[in-house]
Chain A
Amino acid sequence: MAEQLGSGLDIEDVREVFDLFDFWDGRDGLIGAEKVGDLLRCLGLNPTLALVKKMGGTDKPGEKQFSFEEFLPIVKSLLKVDDIGTFAEFCEAFKSFDREGMGYITAGEMNYMLTSMGERLTDQETDAIMQDTDTSPDLDGNLKYEDFIKKVMKGHEWKK
């Protein structure tokens, strides 16, 4: 039985994802540090950009490379702190915009929130979110954010 790391992940899973990225990268056993974030995300983890940086990830290719042995401890330490959040926690983002408390915000406010606060997304990315979660404003330009969050939490899960 492969070594269990936590959250249903075992060392073989990490090996698999590492090999997957290495497969496209020339199969030399090394992966650029700019891919660390994506590697972790494909394992089902949810590191923020800040956390990825702290763990040794870089922005640009060519600066640093990780071997599997160097990557594994990063996974292990992240497993201890990882959490995607609860339904209520997601809702917190929207509550302050929801002046009437009816469960709606405008599409514009949603866009503003995601592109100007926190770890900003681009307009293109917010458009893609809308399209992929099949979310569109009603005739008044409002979105029911609970539905949106439900879809986010259900997510298009990759594996498991």
Chain B
Amino acid sequence: MGCSPSKKVVRAKNATKRLRAVVRIQTWYRRYRANLEARRRCTWSIFQSLEYAGEQDQLKLHNFFNNMLDSLVSDGNSPAPLIRAFNVNKRASIYDTQSMRDSGGEMLQNLLEGMEVEPSYKGPHLTFPLTMNQLHKIVQSFRRKLTLHAKYTIQLLLEVRRILKTQGNIRYASTSLSKQVTVCGDIHGKLSDLYTIFHKNGLPSVNNPYIFNGDFVDRGQFSTEVVIVLFSCFVMNPNEVYLNRGNHEDHVMNLRYGFVKELQMKYKQHSRKVIHMFKDVFSWLPLATVVDDQIIVCHGGISDTTNLKTLAKIDRHRYMSTLQPPGECEDISTMDTQDLIEWKQVLDLLWSDPKPIDGCQPNTFRGGGSYFGPDITTSFLQQNKFKLLIRSHECKPEGFEYTHNGQVLTVFSASNYYEMGSNLGAFVRIQGAELECRVVQYMSTHSPTHRKVSFTQRINTVEKSAIQDLKEKILASKHKLLSEFKKCDLDNSGSISSSDWCCALETVLEIELPWRTLKSKIAKCDNNGDVQYETTFDELEVRHRYSGNGPSITETLYRHRENLETIFRLIDTDHS
């Protein structure tokens, strides 16, 4: 009897103990999750920084050409053919621009002259107008790893060009008939993702209109197939398929990011002509699409100067590459003011990124376009009586993201973009009278073994891949980095402080990353937090071993490898 109240007390004590223990486990879990999320974001930053650092170079590439040309002229002797190549290239583009306006594609028609389809060709033989049946044949032949013959490819591109020329810079879509429209973001040559979208959402048709928001090519292995499928859908439904130009529908970008290389590989002796056609057709792609006068869809974003009236009037075809000044201009400093204004309008639409801070700044991360804040979005939407801006251009872990208080929707359709498991892809269905946006996500998997991976394992894999990529970049600048490190190592101990290490990396590599957080993943540290800087270069060896004091040719070449490849490819297209 006397036991009863104390039993209650004991029970109460136990209950409290238990509750506290449960909370401990839950708290542990939340900490664990927070750390995982931090790692994921770090990894993401690495991938994005490396990606954009590359693209930023493109803007400098134009000036690089001019400089290289100067130095070659002063050199004298053998590089003459090189100079001629550059001049030929420049002249060719001027020539093209004029001929386009003059003879409406007849010059291009000549590309088909003498092109025969050899009997050994196993792919489909296209006839125009294109039918759904033929699209099926095209897809089947892609499954068998065949390339559509250059003749049919060029014919398709000529047809695309003919139709695009009749369309304005800004297209206007209406859901009055179909009651809905689907918007897809970057595809970047991921054919499996395109098929996934069509599988989930149906092929484009009168009742199933689509807006493809740019970046169909580059990076992925099947850019050619993606763009052919998209263009085929377009010629069959020119009023229901809307193709917006992305920053990768651009000759200079294609030279560097894989599309031109892929075309050379797949079209072999005909590749020059095919490349030339794509270069032209891309410049005819419209810049934006407006849905029901309420939703604007464009690839990058806007800036504080974006003006649809101005954009509607420009001659978009002058921009073979949005990275080069339009038309015949050779030197930016001599550009006409009107041209500069127009160029900025186009750059902003295709290269900008939304940021959480108010205001508008130049997009230094990318090297072109702007960073635009929520206030810019609000005033732009208000001015034009829009309710939403849909854009792409940035990879998102969930395939989509709302920012600026729901005024901006980013949609990205290439899943596993950085690495298997790095992100989902998504598309948006705009439905009903209220134009409600419903997002559909997916991840295209090639092998069934990838499906049962836990979140942690995915993060581990993706993180390892990112660090690997980052280390490659670090190794390419080893010499410069070592000298920076040694400058800080006053007592020659082999270790420097964290801040010195971070500073050196950011200065030499010119990439902004959370270096302090990444420190332990890249190099070994002492007990007091100092970095043993030589270990920064561990675990990854470039193929060639080098010796000697200065940065070897190999190291320099490796660092500029991508730039050099691009240049050689540019020369090659006019020289071969």
Contact = CB atoms under 8 A, between A and B. Distances in A.
Contacts of B464: none
A155 B32 contact: yes
A114 B30 CA distance: 12
B22 A118 contact: yes
B28 interface: yes
A118 B34 CA distance: 19
Contacts of B454: 128, 131-132
B25 A114 contact: yes
Prevailing SS type, chain B contact patch: helix
B465 interface: no
A127 to B, nearest CB: 10
Interface string B337-370: 0000000000000000001110000000000000
B121 interface: no
Interface string B525-555: 0001100000000000000000000000000
Interface string B33-47: 111111101100100
B385 interface: no
Given A46-B28, A125-B29, A155-B28, A41 B34 contact: yes
A156 B32 contact: yes
Contacts of B517: 16-17, 20
A121 B34 contact: no
A74 interface: no
A128 B455 CA distance: 8
B23 interface: yes
Nearest to A117: B22
Given A26-B357, A38-B37, A90-B21, A131 B455 contact: yes
A10 B25 CA distance: 27
B24 interface: yes
A12 interface: yes
B38 A158 contact: yes
Contact of A119 (B23, B31, B36): B23
B514 A20 contact: yes
B456 A90 contact: no
A118 B29 contact: no
A46 B355 contact: no
15 contacts: A16-B516, A20-B42, A24-B45, A28-B357, A41-B30, A42-B35, A46-B27, A84-B28, A89-B21, A89-B24, A90-B24, A91-B21, A119-B26, A158-B35, A158-B39
Task: List the 5 closest A-B pairs by CB distance, nearest first.
Answer: A93-B21, A41-B34, A158-B35, A92-B21, A16-B516
